[in-house]
Each structure stands twice: as structure tokens, then as C-alpha cells.
Structure 1
Amino acid sequence: MVSPSAKEVFIQGITKDGRTFRPSDWAERLAGVMCSFRPGGPQPGSHLSYSPWCVPTVVNGIKCVVVSSELREAEVMAWDFVMNFARDNELQVAEACLVPDVPPPALPRK
């Protein structure tokens, strides 16, 4: 169960019994289905990119889909769809926060 205060949820490509979920492109497929759900609603060409609210990624070698709570606020049925997908396929779900990559500070010149 996901707490209402969670900002992001990671749906992991590992089942509750530890097996790798198949097919191998499941994360891209799920995120592709959700591409129309985005800030401002669907736009021309939005089917060509992932929604910022549902993004496939890899964390520690495990395929995941990061789902933002903003999806739940904008369209609860879309949120329910992805959460039911995870539940129906017995995928592990974790509340977390994706930390953006920050470049290391520049070294001082001598």
C-alpha cells in the first residue's frame, strides 16, 4: 500500500517472490501507455515522449517506472491503472524520491 503523502513511487521489475518481471521492455510499455497524462494535458506530439509523471528508468540494474504523485492529483484513474498493474503482476513497489544527477563541482585551476 502506498501512503497518500508519497511524492514518488517506484514500481520495480522484480516480483514479490524475487523473479525478474518479463517482458524485458515492460517499463517502456507502461510509461508509453501513460504518455498522454502530463501537465497541461495531451498536446500534439505528446505521444512521442514519456510523461514527466511516469518515467521508465533503471535503478541498481533493475528496470523501474517512477510514478509521481502529481499523476494521482491530475487523473486518479491513471494512477489507479499503474498501481493496479503493479499489484496484478505482483511487482515490488517502493516509496522513494528520484534524485537528479548533479555534476561534480569544478576543480580550481592552479
Structure 2
Amino acid sequence: MVANTSKELFILGITRQGKTFRPSDWAERLAGVMGSFRPGGPQPGSHLQYSPWCIPTSIGALKCVIVHRDLRDYNVMAWDFCVNFAKDNDLQVSDTRPLAVGGEGSVG
């Protein structure tokens, strides 16, 4: 389970069965939907940028989204959307940054 003290939640692009999640741009899509959720609220054009609270990235070959816990304080429904996305798609979630896929301390 994910610890509540961590400042970041990592949604990993790999299912609990170890399969790569598709489509390949899922992380960018999820982060794009969350673009308006940001410190200070939505601004003109904010939908064209990723929120600092929901950032797509890659760790090695693994796509992931880093969701900052400040999002939960700002808008719990937006936080729940991200968490439920991971649950609904059976994605692995971590409160620590994974090192890589296939190595020591790795995911999968």
C-alpha cells in the first residue's frame, strides 16, 4: 500500500501482471487531462501545459506519471481521478521512485 507521508505518488505504466500498459501515450493523456489543476487555479492557456502536480515522465523505458500529494489538498476529486485511473487499469503504484525495469530495486 502507498504511505500517506510520501509527497509523490508514482503511477507506473506496467500492470500488476507485469504487462506494459497501452496506449503508449497514456501518461501524456492522463497528465493532459489534469493540466488545469495547478497552484493558483486555472489560468488562460493552462490547459496547454502539464500541471506541476501531475507530470508524465519515463524512468528508463517505463512510462509513468508523478502525482504530487498537493493535488489532493487542492482538489480531492482530481486526486481520486488519478488514483482510480491506476486502480481501474490495474497499474502498479509506488510512493518511491522506481529505479528501472528489470534491475535490483526495480519494478516488475
Same fold (TM over 0.5): yes
1:48 matched to 2:48: yes
- Unaligned residue ranges in structure 1 (runs of 5+): 99-110
Alpha-carbon distance in 2 for matches of 1:96, 1:73:
20
Equivalenced residue count is: 98
> Is the 1:7–1:96 contact (alpha carbons within 8 Å) kept by the matching residues of 2?
no
Measure how far apart 1:3 and its partner are: 2.2
Which residue is 1:102 aligned to? none
Q: Percent identity?
A: 66
- Unaligned residue ranges in structure 2 (runs of 5+): 99-108
Amino acid at match of 1:77: M
Moved over 6 A (4+): none
Instruction: Give the TM-score, by structure 1 length.
Output: 0.85
List per-residue Cα deviations over 1:24-77 (Å, max 9, x = no partner).
000000000000000000000101100000000001210000000010111111
Alpha-carbon distance in 2 for matches of 1:97, 1:42:
28
Which residue is 2:16 aligned to? 16
Amino acid at match of 1:14: I
1:1-110 correspondence to structure 2 within 5 Å:
1-96=1-96
> Is the 1:72–1:78 contact (alpha carbons within 8 Å) kept by the matching residues of 2?
yes
RMSD: 1.3
Larger radius of gyration: 1
Q: Secondary structure at the match of 1:92?
A: strand
Amino acid at match of 2:35: C
